[in-house]
Structure 1
């Protein structure tokens, strides 16, 4: 029995690892399509020589080792917030680690929001770059096909986003085996060329990277902007951790993905030394003529899959941002009955689809996009490093020497890549920065707006304790049933309660003030889910707690209150919500233009009925006008 159970667990782990190959490593797995090509034939391409080829290969090798293997797969993946990954999960963990230090909390939140904003910019650039890079193999096969590259790319993008509703699990089952074959094929193609020129393996020695810098101090710095293409997608390793778990991702990387990438890069390097004209597209020219059409088909499939890593990550980051109060409520659909982390966010899906199509039309080819690629990725990587170091020092209690050493190594690498890509800003690097800045603006506007509304509603509200005393002294007419008033503060009287009493002149037999809190952990333990307090005169306060990776199903939790002596009959319970109508004004809160943005986001947020899963026939909304 024990052996059968162990075999079953092993099979499940292997299946998850294969699915992770398809979703998590799609982006970094298609980097061989364009990394060496852009290094030697792109806008900043270098002349082909033994020093240059070995130097670029050495830099790419050690970038994969230090940034992906050590920093992300080993170090940052340790910062899993109860199984969840991504910038928002990291932020929550960092906030827990610093306690009530307001200044440090403000820095952490700002870094995390900007990191999330850059991740969305990457989510637009990556699919466009990967799919264009693959489809451009058409002109290697037949130059006259060049005019079909952009239309074919758009058709493929449309097909990819149409598949998203089936969920990460469904996509992973299809994509995992394809990407497993992909890494095998590109590894074999590289190995064949390595056997022709085995001296290329000298590039494993980091000294060749040093020699490259010594030989070309200025050009080598610029070259870092193309070397970084080899590690784009590394941040998805952490962002998608909640979908598959730490162990399957680590197994997939070290056993299958990393070896396949290295073999292919070294094969391309050997080809370039033997035939410098192959710089036009060394990836496709690794294959014999008869294999290029099948390779084009496989590469296109792999490029489609590459986009999945950032799309899945964008869904996860969005849900976490909503729960933590950095984004308006949106519809979130669960695509798996078994894994809570597998979700689909229709609004984000539409946004990415439109933005990617516009990017493909605007940039036209992967060389133009390479100039825009990298700045968002390296910025997000630098922020990941800073937040992870805060967690390491404050939560894991790393010693100062260890933290300083790790910080020096990782920050130096990230900063070097970021500065090398900053050169690209005038040539297209501005594009992901503009996308990131817009997302940053929307997220900070939403956060600030909600804080201002909460403060204003609290300032204008009545104190709860005297109100209950006055109700006891001068009781209004009571009607049967329970009334649940949703509020953000349990210290003041909800506006919906006051409006109901003022206009209907009645109170229910039992009145419950309910607030929902989102904790800085993915899932709240069952025992900590709710706190009930009797306030007297049949008034109660209930505090519901959810994690940032959970969906707040209010009626289901209220049904569990019976165990605490406060039973609810949902058919005899009415929910009251206050719906604010926002009036932007020039003399309060934020600047008027930001007030208008916030009011627009507020109007288009998903109704609380759907978000808190409250039955529409048990809900009464009462309007309140709020000047902001």
Structure 2
């Protein structure tokens, strides 16, 4: 008996932790996909409403929605992609970093695939809050038409408040995410279950043949409708992107135990309601509930959409940090809002860009019906990119043959390509918006990567190999620099070359410190690096040491926190007699060399948004010396 009691007590904390992760996954991971029932079926029915909705159309659409959830979310994301992790981390850029670490073949193709996927995700992060919150608040019109003029102002106020609180952090608020979203899913499931009884014929939608029959007989209208059907899986990319926050098993358990059953019941219930009462096609979600319950459901729906918005905003912050560390964006200010969870970050520049984008979308479209036409392209595009990268993952990481990988992914790629084609038909109705957003972001990331390579090449022409410099500086001569006491740490991105800031210091000040450190901060192509692998020290001469600090692309590159590890590794120093030398470069455009004139201007403008290296690497503020130079690009 004592053994049984002991085992139970030991397993209890593990069970509690798993339950907390499962609840958190319901709130954060599935917040976005959980708001799709508000508008997906309504938008799919819209082309058929004018001449009356037939039972076959209703059953066919519900069948399409349920099987789209089954094939794309369950099979692709929950069962497959959650296993395609980069040391526990998921997402497009994480997968790209893993592939670039393992192979250099087709590097250019996969680089562009990665930035396309990242850009589309950011576009999704702008559209999701606007669409979700508007669709929830529009339920107020069913309570009383008096609310109609106030839907837009309330939506704007919610958005302003939501983006304003990002700087405070979401640690305390996120504890409410899981319970509220769990209640939302239970209410959705119960509401759907009640209305299945309106017409049990809706159970025929569980047969995939009805989905196939709908597609083959609906003609061009059916292709247009597919764009709306795909709204059922918006937020599926969050499954993969949030893998590192919750782990594979809690995300999978949340899907099968709560999320998928609730979504399926709700869509079946909406279908049963419309079969029994075709007039309900105008807003099948809110009309599922009795009149007295509409206002509480609208309030709950609004809370759920705010949580869904928070999830994609947080995802955009994480993706921006990955992009910065992988060299796709300039170094932006990253603020940590939790002392214990490094995943809770706030990127002011990204937050402002998202806020302006969301407000512009709300003002431009004015309703969820109009905005739904712009939605879908970014989601389907990101999914196609992920599938393409997954093919390389199967080949390189799991060692599958080309034929086996094609057999596994080609049907899925064809299905997603059909959905992408259907959404592209909405280009003229507002679908150009996410295309423009993603296109602009792609050009920015490509320009930054191209520009930084050019700057590195130009720097290399005037660089002096480090060992050659040491050989010359250690020679005894009448022109030797004056040696001063203390330690000088010179930051450089090229550890085998003499840092430009060191050469400038010698040229203008003619001094050399008693101890000199060539410090290189490097980003590993993996999410996290163990502290034991953080520091590498190499003694070059009596006065010179080379130190490399290695960080994962999900980590804060905090040099100050890494300095104690340097002491443990054998580099002993006194901080009050140590100076950090950082170079500041002013870029000057030259249309006759390097980048085209427009790209020159864009690259220089982006460089202007980059924060000071001393802030980015969190160097001791009172120990930093900056030396500047001009460079023509």
Q: Deviations over 1:415-441 (max 9, x none)?
A: 011000000011100001101111111
Matches within 5 A, 1:272-351: 272-351=274-353
- Determine the C-alpha separation between the residues in 1 that align with 2:225 and 2:47: 11
Matched residue, 1:531 = 536
Please say which of residues 218-227 and 332-341 is displaced more in the overlay: 332-341
Please say which of residues 361-370 and 522-531 is displaced more in the overlay: 522-531
Matches within 5 A, 1:119-518: 119-473=121-475, 474=477, 475-518=480-523
- Determine the C-alpha separation between the residues in 1 that align with 2:551 and 2:260: 38
- Determine the C-alpha separation between the residues in 1 that align with 2:49 and 2:85: 38
Q: Structure 1 residue 344: deviation in Å? A: 1.8
- Determine the C-alpha separation between the residues in 2 that align with 1:248 and 1:158: 32
Matched residue, 1:89 = 94
Matched residue, 2:612 = 607
Task: Say whether residues 1:56 and 2:61 are aligned partners.
Answer: yes
Query: Are the aligned partners of 1:92 and 1:520 in contact in 2 as well (CA < 8 Å)?
Result: yes
SS at match of 1:372: coil
Q: Structure 1 residue 144: deviation in Å? A: 3.6
| Segments of 4+ moved more than 4 angstroms | 42-47
Q: Structure 1 residue 525: deviation in Å? A: 2.6
Please say which of residues 601-610 and 337-346 is displaced more in the overlay: 337-346
Q: Structure 1 residue 61: deviation in Å? A: 0.7
Query: Are the aligned partners of 1:189 and 1:286 in contact in 2 as well (CA < 8 Å)?
Result: yes
SS at match of 2:398: coil
SS at match of 1:511: strand
Q: Deviations over 1:108-140 (max 9, x none)?
A: 111101110111111111110101111111122
Q: 1:455 to 1:34 in 2, by over 3 A?
A: same
Task: Say whether residues 1:595 and 2:590 are aligned partners.
Answer: no
- Determine the C-alpha separation between the residues in 1 that align with 2:247 and 2:142: 39
Query: Are the aligned partners of 2:535 and 2:569 in contact in 1 as well (CA < 8 Å)?
Result: no
Query: Are the aligned partners of 2:197 and 2:272 in contact in 1 as well (CA < 8 Å)?
Result: no
Q: Structure 1 residue 194: deviation in Å? A: 0.7
Structure 2: unaligned runs, 5 residues or longer:
1-5
Matched residue, 1:100 = 104
Q: Deviations over 1:162-217 (max 9, x none)?
A: 33234343332112111110100110010001123222111011000111123223
Matched residue, 2:3 = none
Q: 1:46 to 1:348 in 2, by over 3 A?
A: farther
Matched residue, 1:66 = 71
- Determine the C-alpha separation between the residues in 1 that align with 2:163 and 2:568: 45
- Determine the C-alpha separation between the residues in 2 that align with 1:247 and 1:488: 39
Query: Are the aligned partners of 2:136 and 2:305 in contact in 1 as well (CA < 8 Å)?
Result: yes
Q: Structure 1 residue 289: deviation in Å? A: 1.1
- Determine the C-alpha separation between the residues in 2 that align with 1:71 and 1:166: 36
- Determine the C-alpha separation between the residues in 1 that align with 2:73 and 2:259: 11
Query: Are the aligned partners of 1:558 and 1:568 in contact in 2 as well (CA < 8 Å)?
Result: no
- Determine the C-alpha separation between the residues in 1 that align with 2:601 and 2:150: 43
Q: Structure 1 residue 47: deviation in Å? A: 4.2
Q: Structure 1 residue 403: deviation in Å? A: 1.0
Alignment TM-score, normalising by the size of structure 2: 0.96
- Determine the C-alpha separation between the residues in 2 that align with 1:456 and 1:476: 27
- Determine the C-alpha separation between the residues in 1 that align with 2:202 and 2:182: 25
Matched residue, 1:522 = 527
Please say which of residues 402-411 and 113-122 is displaced more in the overlay: 402-411
Query: Are the aligned partners of 2:454 and 2:594 in contact in 1 as well (CA < 8 Å)?
Result: yes
Matched residue, 2:16 = 11
Structure 1: unaligned runs, 5 residues or longer:
none
User: CA RMSD for the aligned pairs?
Assistant: 1.6
Query: Are the aligned partners of 2:395 and 2:401 in contact in 1 as well (CA < 8 Å)?
Result: yes
